[in-house]
Chains A and B, each alone.
Chain A
Amino acid sequence: MIVFESVCKSFGATVVFDGLNDAFEKGKVSCLLAPSGSGKTTLLNMVAGTLKPDGGTIKNLPEAVSYVFQEERLIPQKTAYKNLEFVLKPKYPDAKKLGAIIASHLEAAGLKDAADMYPNEMSGGMRQRLSLIRALANPAETLLMDEPFNALDMTLRAGITDMFLKYLATYKKTVLFVTHDLDEAISAGDNIHIYTSKPMRLIIKLEIPGTKGERKLYDGAMTKFKKEIYRLTAEK
């Protein structure tokens, strides 16, 4: 379990965390809901180890993480295959195994025919899928996702969320999933962490009812659950 204990972080005069306490369970998908600009990306960067807290402690920080960024962050000079290879080669020194892993992930994402395409030749959805499989194929226990599907239309979004869920059913990972879309959080998550705006503070952590993958987004119980979340966020 990744535990934040009284974590403080400021950027100049801007206080992002002023004693943040929270815990993210191992092997679970934790969805982070908070107003824009409240510090969700800062939280993810701290878990990734690229930012250090000014005060407090973070316990059980993972040694390696995978990260799906808001933007795709693909290397424009490399093809889809080479983009995956760039990240995965140090982890899979055996060329045959590496090739098989990349091929299987490209196929799962529907990008088999795009292996030789450069990012500027791909559509936004293809690029985002590539960015997602880059993170999924990386053998790290923790996966950080920072509003990765924001730029996608509804159909693409649903498709990618589906792919993500199938993947999680096979590989158990600790996931911190930042999103503004409550339906997306309910579809993919195990629990939801709701925060205040800056300085960011945990309001409540809720277990999402039902079994993941079988949840009905608009049945009575789920509508009630959503109403409760809207009430909590509106109150704070």
Chain B
Amino acid sequence: MTKFFKDGGFKGRIIKVICFLLALTVIICIWQYLSEHFYPRIGVIPSPLKTLATVRSEMAKDSFFKAVFGTLSRSIISFVYAFVPAFILAALSHIFKPLKQFFNPFIAICRAMPTIALIFIIILIVGTEKLPLLIALLVVFPLVYENIYAAFENVDKSLLAMANVFKVGRLRQITGIYLPAILPYIFSSVIAGFGLNIKVVIAAEVMGLPSMSIGYLILVANQRMDFTISFAWLAIAVVLSYLCETVLKIISRFSMPYIYPDRKILKTYCKKAFHKVKGLVGAIKAKGGTGR
């Protein structure tokens, strides 16, 4: 128990929660201030309480889950579309270095091109239906490619030499040295890329108008000058993005106990506690048995 408090960063976690709550309070205060001082009559920026009430009323509608599911599924599919080729091409570029030089100009163009310009071009070429998927692919692909390529380049060469000396097979080297080494990069690119992807997908939805999407509902609300609903959906999008990021962070932490040893300590502590409870329950049962 003492070890958990000492090494497990319990204090650090408390400080983290306090900082988070403090930041949330500051954001709400700024939000409240802006809502009171910028066109309060029209309600361009609705107050936090009003937005919360609207979120609740939106959540009660049938369209809510359909829109959230639509945007989320579009984000996940487009992310996978971007991630898989980026990962494969980064791995190939690591093996055949000239490939990296070949892809550099493409990556530079993808990175530099303004998203809005891309949206117009893609609408003209493929129409609006596949717009969010393609836009996300073009925005996320360079980020993931660069990250994963850097990961492959940073794999410890001395470990590979060790594996070669001990005649460890290629497949085992990939699963035993490459994968654990690039895992933190994979998670960091998934976390950063997915958050960005949700933003881009919503922007593309506003332009591409796929029905049952957050972007579509934001656009409709804006066209009706119903800024409260529009703002409520913005808040929903932020929370959705934050939740996804948090889930991914938790998965990444539990997948890498060597980086986050506190998780290992916590796990051991939980195991011990579980066995204690189990023993206690067993003892109570046994007592009950003899009592009867």
Residues of A within 8 A of B (CB): 48, 50, 64-67, 69, 71, 73, 75-78, 86-87, 89-90, 118, 120-121, 134, 138
Contact = CB atoms under 8 A, between A and B. Distances in A.
Nearest to B158: A73
A120 B264 CA distance: 13
Given A73-B158, A118-B258, A118-B261, A78 B168 contact: no
Interface in B114-168: 158-159, 161-168
B161 A87 contact: no
B110 interface: no
B165 A50 contact: yes
B169 A90 contact: yes
B165 A67 contact: yes
Given A77-B256, A118-B261, A90 B161 contact: no
A82 to B, nearest CB: 8
B181 to A, nearest CB: 7
B86 to A, nearest CB: 23
A75 B168 CA distance: 13
A90 B163 CA distance: 12
20 contacts: A50-B161, A50-B164, A50-B165, A66-B166, A67-B165, A71-B158, A73-B158, A73-B162, A75-B177, A77-B256, A78-B176, A78-B180, A86-B163, A86-B176, A87-B166, A118-B257, A118-B261, A121-B261, A134-B166, A138-B166
Contact of A65 (B165, B169, B258): B165
A11 to B, nearest CB: 16
Contacts of A89: 172
Contact of B168 (A76, A90, A118, A121): A90
A77 B177 CA distance: 8
Interface in B44-98: none
Interface of B: 158-159, 161-169, 172, 176-177, 180-181, 183, 256-258, 261
Contacts of B159: 73, 75
Nearest to A138: B166
Interface centre among A65, A75, A120 (most CB of B within 10 A): A75
A75 B164 CA distance: 14
A157 B257 CA distance: 31
A118 B258 CA distance: 6
Contact of B180 (A48, A50, A66, A77): A77
B258 A76 contact: yes
A145 B169 CA distance: 22
Contacts of B181: 77
A120 B181 CA distance: 15
Contacts of B167: 64, 90
Given A77-B181, A77-B258, A86-B163, 7 more contacts: A48-B165, A50-B161, A66-B166, A67-B165, A75-B176, A90-B167, A90-B168
Contacts of B258: 76-78, 118, 120
Contacts of A64: 167
Nearest to A86: B176
Contacts of B165: 48, 50, 65, 67
A113 to B, nearest CB: 13
A134 B161 CA distance: 15
A47 B257 CA distance: 37
Contacts of A120: 258, 261
A76 B158 CA distance: 12
Nearest to B184: A77
A134 B159 CA distance: 13
A67 B166 contact: yes
B206 to A, nearest CB: 42
Contacts of A118: 257-258, 261
Contacts of A78: 176, 180, 258
Contacts of A48: 165
A150 B12 CA distance: 38
Q: 4 tightest CB-CB pairs across the interface, nearest first?
A: A77-B180, A73-B162, A118-B258, A87-B166
Contact of A67 (B162, B168, B169, B176): B162
A67 B162 CA distance: 8
A205 to B, nearest CB: 25
Contacts of B164: 50
A130 to B, nearest CB: 13
Nearest to A116: B264
B180 A90 contact: no
B183 to A, nearest CB: 8
Contacts of B161: 50, 73
A87 B168 CA distance: 6
A160 B165 CA distance: 22
Contacts of A134: 166
Nearest to B259: A77
